[in-house]
Structure 1
Amino acid sequence: MQGIAVEESRKRWMECQGVKNWEGLIDPLDDTLRAQILSYARFVEAAYRCFDFDMSSPTYATCRNDIDSMLAQCGIGNHRYRVTKNLYATCTTSVPRWMERILNLASSPESSWIGYVAVCDDAEEISRLGHRRVVIAFRGTATAREWLENLRVILTPLSVDLATPLPDCSGDHRQPMVQRGLLSLYTSGGDGRQSLQDTIREEIREIVKRYGGKGEPALSITITGHSLGGALATLVAYDIVTQFGGHEAAVPLVTAVSFGGPRVGNGGFKRELEASGAKVLRIVNHDDPITKVPGFVFDDVAGLGVPAWLQKYAKYAAYAEVGKELRLSSKDRRLPHAKVMARSAINVATCHDLNTYLYLIETF
């Protein structure tokens, strides 16, 4: 009987991680999945709480808390998760000097703390979950330089290792491409730091080496984030699977959980992502405009019926929605206090706020 219970527990957590693309779990929202989504949102909350937003502070754009105590200080305690790595992202966008002064870029460092990696080390929690959970959590846009990266919305070709520039195959509309600023943020290094990509790859390699042996609990890797962090989560999930999923049996499932994330890539990227086996759950507030940018959504520019000369340029703004969508709405009449939420729906910041997403998930 115990063996059956263990197998059922394993089956359940894998379903909530998206092994069957959340079939039958979204509408109505399964309570176990709801609890899991909310738990990931708490990790994202911690990334926001730990970040130093004070531009006058000497520690601006860094983590305000010690790596050993940050989760406990943010309310994710009981020593169940251990932060193993701080994560930094580097912005490389250059602007004219007059714009640097207007945007006060001198006070905005190139590399900023953007999140962390945490591993579940608690035997009781591992038993309850049915596996050992690894969480990579990202905050959203916070610095002026990151806003500039957000504005680099033109799609750029994606290589296998993401960091190697590819030639532009203008005639191939199936070529995988992602947002230029997002890719740069992930693959660039600076301020004496290695790239976010290299840091994550090295850390996942160490985690798999340490916890992926025989007799160890199964591993799950979940990348989660809000806004810019949600887009990063999708890109990182794809990168981890393509780097480790094919030959690391200890990593059975890699999942991205995105809260209010903007679009990431084109139809070619969508196809590559699906073929890789990475699972993506996008939580979207219908009234949040950030989830509707950048670009426009067409899976195949060649099928738009536009002139061939225009296709060459249109493909750089033709994005595709990826993954499984959990669509919420601030105006949903089924929700308690729907009138209050409907009034706040006109406020872009409120609709995009992580706390709004938490409320909508709790009451969906």
Structure 2
Amino acid sequence: MKFTSSLAAASVLASVLASPIALTETSPLAKRAVDAALFAKLKFYVQYAAAAYCTNNADSSGTPISCATGNCPDVQAANAVSVLEFDSSILTDMRGFLSVSTVRQEIVLAFRGSSSIRNFLTDLNFGYVNFGCSGCSAHAGFATAWYEPRSAILAALKTTRAQYPSYKIVITGHSLGGAVATLAAGDLRSQGYAADLYTYGSPRVGNGAFASWVSAQPGVTARVTHVNDPVPRLPPMLIAGYRHTTPEYWLSNGSATKVDYTLADVKVCEGISTTGCNAGTIPTLDLDAHRYYFLAATSCAPDLAFKREEQMSPARRADGSASDVEILSWMAADAAASPSELAATT
């Protein structure tokens, strides 16, 4: 379905918000709980994602990973040291680092989010490119953001892996960094690297085939969302065919700025079209819930907002950007969609 006018979009939005959003067969709350070991990892790897926002971790390879704002204390305690810090700003402004911790015996690849959230998520063309497997397609802008630093990352990872062959590989990122981390995980796993993936507030990255492919690969694939964070609800499912990796670990209660979650607060939703957790909440464009994932994840970052006046990302065709009403209506329509409607757009 496509919304041909702001008036039509507003009508859809109003009708959906007028009644409670029901869980669908595609998105049941799982009957299992998160165990203590996984919960600890969900809380830990977001600190690497947060550290990727700090400028001191973007231009000084060979130095300890640190956060001047104090939001990565466990990473600092693990004596994580970068072996590569990349800043691919020509097209997508993708930054991040590859690091090693001899304390935890792991290699971590972290991608930074972006302040240009709306530029990537509300382009009306929602362009796809082939990625990963037969039938797999991924968001064109996200793919460009991965391909820019890819060669440097692969070279550094090969050297680091040879030096530390028994170390676990973990890939992480927040927001748009989570989207690129998902692409990196799919790519690296397909090359034989055993890697775990932890993303926070990631948007949808590709079509159903892509989401299923990444989710089925060996290794942990953990996608964390927070109450009504709007970013994981874009790009939309019904009008653009995007899907999420599974499972989803939803920080399900409290205010948008809550960080003191317990294991019991985490709800699990299964399925690439899940609307039982974050995607079933009341639509909003407020980014407060996006900024907080167990901690102030973006405290090293510039202010994040859905700004319409910014230029479109040069990695995408600038066919136009949706209005606020249209964006909210996409979210509402996805949340209210039946399993058969969602299946028709996979």
1:114 deviation in Å? 1.3
- Pick one of 288, 308, 311 that aligns with 1:350: 288
TM norm structure 2: 0.60
Q: Relative CO higher for 1 or 2, CA cutoff 8 Å, sep ≥ 6? A: 2
Please tell me whether residue 77 in structure 1 is matched to residue 69 in structure 2.
no
Aligned mates of 1:288, 1:231 — CA distance in 2: 15
Q: Normalized per residue, which structure has more helix?
A: 1
2:101 maps to 120
Please tell me whether residue 180 in structure 1 is matched to residue 140 in structure 2.
yes
2:47 maps to 42
Please tell me whether residue 203 in structure 1 is matched to residue 152 in structure 2.
no
Q: 1:225–1:258: 8 Å Cα contact kept in structure 2? A: yes
Q: How does 1:216-231 map to 2 (within 5 A)?
A: 218-231=166-179
2:252 maps to 329
1:156 deviation in Å? 1.9
Aligned pair count reads 240
Q: Please, which runs of 5 or more residues in structure 1 have no aligned partner?
A: 1-24, 52-61, 93-109, 127-131, 163-173, 188-194, 213-217, 246-252, 298-313, 339-344
The superposition leaves residues 316-343 of structure 1 with CA deviations (integer Å, 9 ceiling, x where unpaired) of x1012212110123448xx8999xxxxx
1:264 deviation in Å? 0.5
Taking a change above 3 Å as real, the CA distance of residues 79 and 47 of structure 1, as seen in their structure-2 partners, is: same
The superposition leaves residues 261-313 of structure 1 with CA deviations (integer Å, 9 ceiling, x where unpaired) of 1000111112322444353211012411111110215xxxxxxxxxxxxxxxx
1:139 maps to 112
Q: 1:71–1:77: 8 Å Cα contact kept in structure 2? A: yes
Q: Which has the larger displacement, 26-35 or 281-290?
A: 26-35
Q: How does 1:258-277 map to 2 (within 5 A)?
A: 258-277=199-218
2:210 partner SS: helix
2:338 maps to none
Letter in 1 for 2:40: A
Aligned mates of 1:49, 1:88 — CA distance in 2: 12
Q: 2:59–2:87: 8 Å Cα contact kept in structure 1? A: no
1:224 partner SS: strand
1:346 deviation in Å? 6.7
1:63 deviation in Å? 3.2
Taking a change above 3 Å as real, the CA distance of residues 244 and 88 of structure 1, as seen in their structure-2 partners, is: farther
Aligned mates of 2:259, 2:67 — CA distance in 1: 31
The percent identity for this pair of structures is 22
TM norm structure 1: 0.57
2:39 partner SS: helix
Q: Please, which runs of 5 or more residues in structure 2 have no aligned partner?
A: 1-29, 262-282, 298-346
1:184 deviation in Å? 1.4
Aligned mates of 2:260, 2:188 — CA distance in 1: 40
1:178 partner SS: strand
Q: 1:282–1:323: 8 Å Cα contact kept in structure 2? A: yes
Taking a change above 3 Å as real, the CA distance of residues 336 and 235 of structure 1, as seen in their structure-2 partners, is: closer
Taking a change above 3 Å as real, the CA distance of residues 348 and 207 of structure 1, as seen in their structure-2 partners, is: same
2:119 maps to 148
Q: How does 1:275-314 map to 2 (within 5 A)?
A: 275-296=216-237
Aligned mates of 1:116, 1:154 — CA distance in 2: 28
Q: 1:91–1:149: 8 Å Cα contact kept in structure 2? A: no
Q: 1:237–1:278: 8 Å Cα contact kept in structure 2? A: no
2:319 maps to none
Q: 2:121–2:235: 8 Å Cα contact kept in structure 1? A: no
Aligned mates of 1:255, 1:220 — CA distance in 2: 8
Letter in 2 for 1:223: I
Q: How does 1:6-21 map to 2 (within 5 A)?
A: none
